[in-house]
Amino acid sequence: MARLVLKFGGTSVANIERIRNVARHVKREVDAGHQVAVVVSAMSGKTNELVAWCREASPMHDAREYDAVVASGEQVTAGLLAITLQALGVDARSWLGWQIPIQTDGAHGAARITGIDGARLIEAFDKHNQVAVIAGFQGIDETTGRITTLGRGGSDTSAVAIAAAVHADRCDIYTDVDGVYTTDPRVVPNASRLDRVSFEEMLEMASLGAKVLQVRSVELAMIHKVRTFVRSSFDDPDAPRPGTLICDEEDILEQQVVTGIAFSRDEAQITLRRVADHPGIAASIFGPLADANINVDMIIQVESDDTTTTDITFTVPASSYALARQILEERRDTIRYATLQGATDVVKISAIGIGMRSHAGVAAKGFRALAAKGINIRAITTSEIKFSILIDSEYTELAVRTLHSLYGLDKKPDETPNEA
């Protein structure tokens, strides 16, 4: 017997018929003798509807009341799934975040989990053999007692945190794809589903554009060593496929040099020309951006020949581009730059793989292949297990396909077809 946490996203519970399908997945695990907790998202589209209602009621709404409203979507799903499981003869009850409790800080709309008491859930398993159906995405501010939400994708984080709290043997994240792929199959039809991915690789993929898991959920899984599967809820509940296991590096026997290619279109480039080169200049540029909660990436500084000025190039999310420009233009006299140039027609492409630690020249090989295709690289960043490049967005598909083939990630001819 194992203790499992299963998480189902919005598309998996989009209507009653799909909720019945989810219930069959849960019943399969219960019939196998496992203790099961289920974490659910709001039905597809419901959170957007609730957010729109808040904005319609008042553009400057109270963040605490916003959380009270948007958290209701998961409450509805949890109740409906519990009812459906009961109809199948499975003992189940719904739980809200505050009932467990899932304790968080007070950052409404983007709260972070500070602790979970899993004792009541474990009691429900051991004494009553009862399935716990838990509303994801939500918790309770341990100081004020108000409902909080964890931000978009927060149900993934709820599931992994609960798995850690109840000492689950594994956490299965059910979504609309059957695992983690070497890249987006919509861009590269020959992309392959990965059997296993290390926590570090998945963290890089999630932060660099892959949409399979929320970054925070991967961080928690890595910290607490929660073995996590990504699986498809649209598989036949009686014959599910294994999906992709996210695990420790030592659990992966064969390590490819490059595991996957990720890309992000949500990028913008800013270049400050002929900035006065003196101590504190970086702080004067990036400090105000940090204060405005603008994430900065891919910083490149090039010193001029006379060493008195420098050019500084960096990237920000495309959604923050206008605000970043405004902040820098307002501080032009303080920063002392000659011109500000920007571009939003750029994309960040990354190659990720723990095998890079022991192989030299991986990035250089990629740069040569892209150059042969006439693709110019605007910026480069590297780490121990990945390199990222910034290129013109019109070359996105060509660059992804080029790197995917270069590093041997294309599906072999005898492999079964991919399913997005």
Report the predicted TM-score, pTM, of the whole model to 2 decimal places: 0.84
Q: Residue 389: which H helix or E strand, with range?
A: strand 386-392
Which domain-ending residue is among 249, 284, 303? 249
What are the tens digits of pLDDT across the range 126-171?
988 999 999 999 999 999 999 999 988 899 999 999 999 999 999 9
346 and 303 co-located in one domain: yes
**How far apart, in whole angstroms, are the C-alpha atoms of residue 184 and residue 307?**
44
| pLDDT reported for residue 363 | 94
Compute φ and ψ for 261, nearest 5 degrees: -120, 120
Examine the domain organization and report whether 337 and 387 are in the same domain.
yes
- The annotation status of 181 as a binding-site residue, yes or no, is yes
- Domain assignment of residue 14, yes or no: yes
For 243, residues 6+ apart whose C-beta sits below 8 A from its C-beta are: 172, 178, 179, 229, 230, 231, 232
Residue 416 lies in a domain: no
| Phi–psi pair at 25, nearest 5 degrees | -60, -45
| Residue 314: other Cβ atoms inside 10 A | 21
pLDDT value for 23? 97
Same structural domain, 41 and 165: yes
CATH number at residue 85: 3.40.1160.10
In a domain, 415, yes or no: no
Mean per-residue pLDDT over the chain, rounded: 92
- Whether 185 and 276 share a structural domain: no
Domain holding 71, by residue range, is: 3-249
Tens of pLDDT, residues 270-306: 999 999 888 888 999 999 999 998 999 899 888 766 6
The answer to whether 47 is a known ligand-binding residue is: yes
149 assigned to a ligand binding site: no
pLDDT of residue 256: 82
Whole-angstrom distance, CA of residue 242 vs CA of residue 78? 25
- 210 within some domain: yes
Residue 420 lies in a domain: no
Q: Strand 131-135 to strand 113-116: parallel, antiparallel, or no bridges (unpaired)?
A: unpaired
Give the chain's domain count.
2
pLDDT of 414 = 52
Q: What is the DSSP letter of 360?
A: S
254 assigned to some structural domain? no
244 is in an annotated binding site: no
Residues contacting 109, CB < 8 A, separation 6+: 63, 66, 67, 149, 151
Q: Domain containing 269 — which CATH number?
A: 3.30.2130.10
Q: What is the pLDDT of residue 228?
A: 95
291 has binding-site annotation: no
Domain boundary among 198, 229, 249: 249
- Do the annotations mark residue 176 as ligand-binding? yes
Report whether 414 belongs to an annotated binding site: no
Q: Are 116 and 103 in contact (CB under 8 A)?
A: yes
Helix (H, G, I), strand (E, B) or coil at 36: strand
Q: How far is CA 111 from the centre of its chain?
A: 16
The two structure tokens encoding residue 10: 């919005």
Task: Show the DSSP H helices in 104-246 as ranges.
Answer: 119-128, 154-165, 199-207, 215-224
Query: CB atoms < 10 A from the CB of 59, how many?
Result: 7
Distance of CA 146 to the CA centre of its chain: 26
- Which residue, 395, 387, 351, 354, is CA-closest to 371? 395
Specify whether the CB–CB gap between 171 and 221 falls below 8 A: yes
Residue 93 located in a structural domain: yes
Positive or negative, the Cα torsion across 22, 23, 24, 26?
positive
Give every residue of the chain whose pLDDT is below 50, as ranges. Answer: 416-420
Residues 266 and 236 in one domain: no
**Domain end residue (candidates: 249, 275, 298):** 249
Is 418 contained in some domain?
no
Q: How many CA atoms lie within 13 A of 60 on its CB side?
A: 0
The span from the CA of 227 to the CA of 164, in Å, is: 10
Is 212 annotated in a binding site? The answer is yes
